[in-house]
Amino acid sequence: MAENLTTIVSSATQTVEINRDCPTVIIGERINPTGRKAVLAALKEGNFDMVRKDAVDQVAAGAAILDVNAGVPGADEPALLEQVMRTVMEVTDVPLCIDTADPAALAAALSIYEGKALVNSVNGEERSLDTVLPLVKEHGAAVIGLCMDDDGIPETPEKRLAVAAKIIERAGKVGIPPEDVIVDPLALTMGADSNAGRIALETIELVVKEFGVNVTMGASNISFGMPDRKYINSAFIAMAIYAGMTCPITNPLVTEIITAVLAADLAMGRDDYGMRWIEAYRKRQKAA
């Protein structure tokens, strides 16, 4: 069993440590126009009010890191991503996860960021490895590694582990240590493949055993197309935390999600005397 590694990300004023022995770190997913028509329309108009609100609300709900995506079709993504990041940094000082597939946008975002960012993401494709990893190294960032490569998304946990190994190895060759690679085993929708959840969970277990690195997932993907998604998501997140996931990308504004994370941490012995659970309970009672 590999040693549990610690990933550190930071803003200008806050530092977040991600480790399997610590409480789960939530990466807030909402600053993303993909699948959110209102955010997409607002960003097209140059209106950043929803970005500000999403940033503040997610941090208040328990997000320790915010994922920031500005993928608006037809837009100047480098300029827009920079503006979105500046907007978020005006209203909160939590670390940011820079979410873009555009190398120019990533370079622009990293150049203005104060602290140690998390980059979302690199994958096992040669083009991605050659483009993203040098930028991550240059700016001293950490990076999420997706378990997919030039052949697509592997169908088995063992093959996804092999992609993770490739990413970690290539990151090491450019000077990025294993602790700065957070593996994403990829949660695909169970509506299309009833084995998707099991495959993701087994991949987490293999990655943790082999490398001890931290693990993330776009956890909401698992329920896409299904009814009552919040119950599926909350159950799956709790199971994934037990398997070894440390920093899910999810929506902390969904009560069932944040409650499942807190309950999983309590059950895993990461909440001394249940104080975080009790504090959250009191907060829910007050809101009600």
Query: At CA 116, angle to CA 111 and CA 119, rounded to 5?
Result: 75
Is the pLDDT at 158 greater than 90, yes or no? yes
Q: Look at residue 219 in the predicted model and tell me its pLDDT.
A: 87
pLDDT band at 230 (very low <50, low <70, confident <90, very high): very high
Q: Please tell me the distance from the alpha carbon of residue 203 to that of residue 144, in angstroms, as a whole number.
A: 15
Query: At CA 211, angle to CA 206 and CA 215, rounded to 5?
Result: 70
Q: What is the pTM of this model?
A: 0.97
**What is the second-level CATH architecture of the domain 7-254?**
Alpha-Beta Barrel (3.20)
pLDDT band at 12 (very low <50, low <70, confident <90, very high): very high
pLDDT band at 35 (very low <50, low <70, confident <90, very high): confident
Q: Look at residue 276 in the predicted model and tell me its pLDDT.
A: 96
- Tell me the per-residue pLDDT of 265-276, one tens digit each, with 9 for 90 and over: 999 999 999 999
Q: Look at residue 288 in the predicted model and tell me its pLDDT.
A: 85
Listed residue (87, 81, 14) closest to 55, CA to CA: 87
Is the pLDDT at 4 greater than 90, yes or no? yes
Q: Please tell me the distance from the alpha carbon of residue 80 to that of residue 97, in angstroms, as a whole number.
A: 15
- Tell me the per-residue pLDDT of 170-229, one tens digit each, with 9 for 90 and over: 999 999 999 999 999 999 999 999 999 999 999 999 999 999 999 999 989 999 999 999
> What average pLDDT does this structure show over 89-104?
97
Is the pLDDT at 287 greater than 90, yes or no? no
> What average pLDDT does this structure show over 87-94?
98
- Tell me the per-residue pLDDT of 102-151, one tens digit each, with 9 for 90 and over: 999 999 999 999 999 999 999 999 999 999 999 999 999 999 999 999 99
Q: Look at residue 8 in the predicted model and tell me its pLDDT.
A: 98
pLDDT band at 1 (very low <50, low <70, confident <90, very high): confident
> What average pLDDT does this structure show over 75-104?
97
Percentage above 70 pLDDT, the chain? 100
| Dihedral Cα 121, 194, 248, 181, nearest 10 deg | -40
Domain boundaries, the chain: 7-254
The answer to whether the CB of 169 falls within 8 A of the CB of 179 is: no
| Dihedral Cα 125, 127, 132, 137, nearest 10 deg | 90
Is the pLDDT at 32 greater than 90, yes or no? yes
> What average pLDDT does this structure show over 88-115?
97
> What average pLDDT does this structure show over 37-59?
95
